[in-house]
Structure formats: C-alpha cells, structure tokens
C-alpha cells in the first residue's frame, strides 16, 4: 500500500499536528522521519490539548503504531518524560517504537547549541536550544552515539569517552564553559534511561516495509518545514535536517516509489520563529491581530512568532520541492474580520518582477512583495463544517491559492479542535 507524506510548506508551525492526527485515523503506522524535540505538534481532542514533541501524532489512536524513524535525533530523557506524561493522561504509549539507528541528543549538544548561539551574538540563528544542530553535526562527522548504543554499555562508554574529550576541550577552551562529567552522563543514560527505552527499540525499516507489503497504510510525518530544510531552506536560518518529502525516504528507510500522496500543510497566512528573511512579513495592527487570534506563540519555547501574508511564491516552490499533491490549509478562521486580505503573488527586486524564489539569498533578503488584494469576510468560521457554508470570499481566497500553486486544497481547518475543518474531497 502506498505511503503518505505530510510536510510543512512554510517555516513551521503550520498546524501539521492537527492534520497528521486527522489523517492518522486511517493509518496503521505513523512515522516521524527527521528533527527532534524542537518540534511541537499541538492536537486538540474534545477540547483537551496534547503537545507532542517527539512522539508521532498517531499515538492518540489505539490502532496506529507510532514510529520514531532513523532520521530523528532523540533526547531519550525527553522521550521517557513525554511517554510518562501521556500515560498519566490515559494515552497508551506501549506501541511506540524507536529506530536503533536514530542518533542520541547528549547533554553536550545542549551546551554547544547554547554556547554557539551566544557567541554568534546578533547573528544568532534563534535555534530552539535543544541541541538539534550539534547532534546532527556529530552524526555527519561520524562521532554520534545512537539509540542502539544504549543496549551496549561498553560501546556506549567507549564512544562517549572519545567524543567527550573533544567536546569538553571545545566547551572549555573555545566557549569558556565548564567540562561535563562523563560518568554522570553514562549513569543517567545507561542506568536510568536505557532500561526504559530498550523495549521501544526496533528494526523500524523492516517494520515499515512489512507494513507496506501487507497493504497497510503508512504515514510519514514531517516536523519543521520546507523553508527550514537544511538544503532548501533559507540557510543558515534553518534546522539541521531535511523536512522536505525527500527526507521522508532517507529518514524512514523507504524508496520514493512507495510514496503516492504528499499532503502539504499551509497556514492561511504565514509565520516564522527565529531569524531569517521573510518577504511577506507584516507589522502593526494586522500583525497583532494575526498573532493574538492565531495564538502565534511557540508551543515549546513560548516565543512570539513573526506573522505575514500568505506567500504564493514560496508555496509554489514548496509544491515543487516536495511533489505536493494536495494542500491542507490551516487557521482559515483567524482571517475572519479582516476587511481585506493580501496574497503575495510575486516579488520585486532591483526593478524586476520575480515569480520564483531567487536562488541568491542576498536577493531574497531585499525583495519586496507584490500583493494582490482580495475581499475579506466578517463571519466567524469556527462552526463551519461544509464547503457550502463557507463565505464566498473565503471560497474565493482558496480558489486563488489553488490557481496559483496548481494543486487542490482538500481541507481547510477552521479551529483547533479535531473536528473543526472543512473537507473539499469529493
């Protein structure tokens, strides 16, 4: 059976969690393929909010197997804490499996993330300070520790000894920070954490392939988003993994021919956290309205997100980069009561009109958005569940998006709850 990828098409926080949750209803396996607990997927079920960082959204359905794939970086202390918190609220996490090849986030990764951000000063990236970048850097440098190392204390200690010598030297000599104690780390990871994580470790590649071979439904759940992608995002203001759909193959261990559906999640406007270019960014009263009505504060970090109008240039690019086959639009209700709406349809730079994202990022930093103005609507959408009951202006807004990006909008969310959405599917 084919696999479905769910991917963010903007700078993250599009509301992927609520759609992965919705789609998970029909899935047998839900697989996270990259990122770590820098993600914060918020799902509201019957008015009760769940914030998931590492555990795939499918955990909330008793019939899905949630899988943490090989491409994810895992702080096992966070994993254990998140499972305990879910269990305390009556959610069964016993089906959760974790790839033995997933890399571990270690205490020195946090130290290095924080120290690097501090030393970058005004050029800092605005990371989540969860050690994500340093963990992926070690993976690429081939000095990372993996989940499976938790099963072999001798190997774990050997690797830790070697790597900690280097990390402590950097922390002390470059950043003037205190050295970390290897024994303390080993005791925490091997003594307390390993026994809790060991039962979750599995050969996830075989599990996923067996499921596909048996005709089961597999969903690959992206975290962060297209323009935070290490290769295709606004580098260096990106995360250190590949959220784009190609990353779903690498981070789960399947080939591209298994994927037949790619759902691109797009917020009805755009937000971004952290630094980096943002052509359609707005400020003033409209910004305040989007932030307050849309509760645009980080699920994890509480940071205020930067808001802007929907950027169709970037959305078109995201559709190409990910082979998006349909778009699920989120937070349409937040736009209610704005008298006029804007869509960024192209950019202008150096007297020229640009219809595509410029490949030279210095240009992207100075482009000016070219907007098309559309009528707004005053109606509250939060109770709307059918296309016919959407105000005409809202339908026109959606139709203009479809026309600009060339793929259909199949869902529009009109509120945070699991059931607050409109389906356009025939």
DSSP three-state, residue 99: strand
Of 3, 7, 39, 319, which one interacts with ligand IMP (CB under 6 A)? 39
Strands (DSSP E) along 127-256, which ranges?
201-202, 218-221
Which one of 99, 127, 217, 323 is in contact with ligand IMP (CB under 6 A)?
127
Q: What is the largest CA-CA distance in the chain?
A: 66
Does 228 sit near ligand IMP (CB under 6 A)? Answer: yes
Is 13 a binder of ligand IMP (CB under 6 A)? yes
13 belongs to the catalytic site: yes
Cβ at position 276, least distance to ligand IMP in Å: 6
Cβ 301 to ligand IMP, closest distance in Å?
8
Which of residues 263 and 393 has its CB atom nearest to ligand IMP in the complex? 263
Give the residue, chosen from 99, 128, 244, 280, that forms a contact with ligand IMP under the rule CB under 6 A. 128
Instruction: Answer yes or no whether residue 73 interacts with ligand IMP by CB under 6 A.
Output: no
Q: How many chain residues touch ligand IMP (CB under 6 A)?
A: 20
Catalytic residue among 21, 28, 37, 41: 41
- Residue pair 271/308 in contact (Cβ under 8 Å)? The answer is yes
- List, in sequence order, every beta strand (DSSP E) within 14-108: 29-32, 41-45, 48-52, 65-68, 73-74, 97-99, 103-104
Region 244-273 residues binding ligand IMP, contact defined as CB under 6 A = 273
Decide whether 128 or 217 has the Cβ nearer to ligand IMP: 128
Catalytic residue at 232? no
Q: Using the rule CB under 6 A, which residue among 44, 45, 125, 250 binds ligand IMP?
A: 125
Our finding on whether 38 is near ligand IMP (CB under 6 A) is: yes
**ω into residue 236 within 30 of 0, thus cis?**
yes
Phi, psi of 371 (to 5 degrees): -105, 150
For residue 107, the minimal CB distance to ligand IMP (Å) is 16
First-to-last CA distance in the chain? 22
Note whether 237 binds ligand IMP by CB under 6 A.
yes
Residue ranges binding ligand IMP (CB under 6 A):
12-13, 38-40, 125-128, 130, 132-133, 223-224, 228, 237, 239-240, 273-274
Catalytic residues: 13, 41
């Amino acid at each position: 059976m084919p696999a479905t990828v769910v991917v963010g098409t903007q700078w993250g926080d599009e509301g992927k969690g609520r759609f992965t949750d919705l789609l998970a209803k029909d899935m047998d396996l839900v697989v996270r393929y990259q990122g770590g607990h820098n993600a914060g997927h918020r799902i509201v079920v019957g008015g009760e909010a769940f914030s998931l960082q590492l555990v795939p959204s499918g955990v909330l359905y008793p019939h899905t197997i949630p899988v943490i794939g090989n491409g994810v970086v895992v702080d096992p202390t966070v994993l254990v804490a998140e499972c305990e918190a879910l269990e305390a609220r009556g959610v069964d996490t016993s089906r959760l499996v974790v790839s033995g090849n997933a890399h571990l986030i270690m205490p020195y990764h946090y130290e290095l993330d924080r120290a690097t951000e501090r030393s970058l000063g005004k050029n800092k990236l605005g990371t989540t300070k969860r050690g994500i970048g340093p963990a992926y850097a070690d993976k690429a440098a081939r000095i990372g520790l993996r989940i499976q190392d938790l099963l072999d204390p001798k190997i774990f200690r050997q690797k830790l000894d070697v790597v900690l010598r280097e990390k402590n030297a950097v922390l002390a000599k470059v950043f003037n920070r205190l050295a970390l104690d290897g024994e303390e780390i080993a005791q925490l990871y091997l003594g307390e954490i390993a026994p809790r994580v060991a039962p979750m470790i599995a050969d996830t590649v075989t599990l996923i392939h067996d499921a596909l071979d048996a005709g089961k439904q597999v969903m690959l759940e992206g975290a962060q988003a297209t323009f935070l992608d290490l290769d295709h995002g606004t580098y260096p203001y990106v995360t250190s993994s590949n959220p784009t759909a190609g990353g779903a193959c690498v981070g789960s261990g399947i080939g591209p021919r298994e994927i037949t559906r790619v759902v691109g999640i797009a917020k009805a406007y755009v937000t971004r956290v952290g630094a980096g270019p943002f052509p359609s960014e707005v400020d003033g009263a409209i910004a305040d309205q989007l932030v307050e009505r849309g509760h645009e504060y980080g699920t994890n970090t509480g940071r205020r997100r930067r808001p802007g109008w929907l950027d169709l240039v970037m959305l078109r690019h995201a559709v190409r980069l990910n082979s998006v086959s349909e778009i699920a639009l989120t937070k349409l209700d937040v736009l209610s009561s704005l008298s006029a709406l804007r869509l960024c349809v192209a950019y202008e730079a150096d007297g020229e009109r640009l219809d595509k994202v410029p490949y030279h990022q210095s240009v992207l930093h100075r482009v000016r958005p070219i907007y098309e103005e559309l009528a707004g609507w005053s109606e509250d959408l939060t109770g709307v569940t059918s296309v016919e009951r959407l105000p005409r202006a809202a339908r026109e807004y959606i139709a203009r998006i479809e026309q600009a990006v060339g793929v259909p909008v199949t869902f529009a969310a009109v509120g945070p709850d699991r059931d607050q959405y409109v389906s356009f599917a025939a």
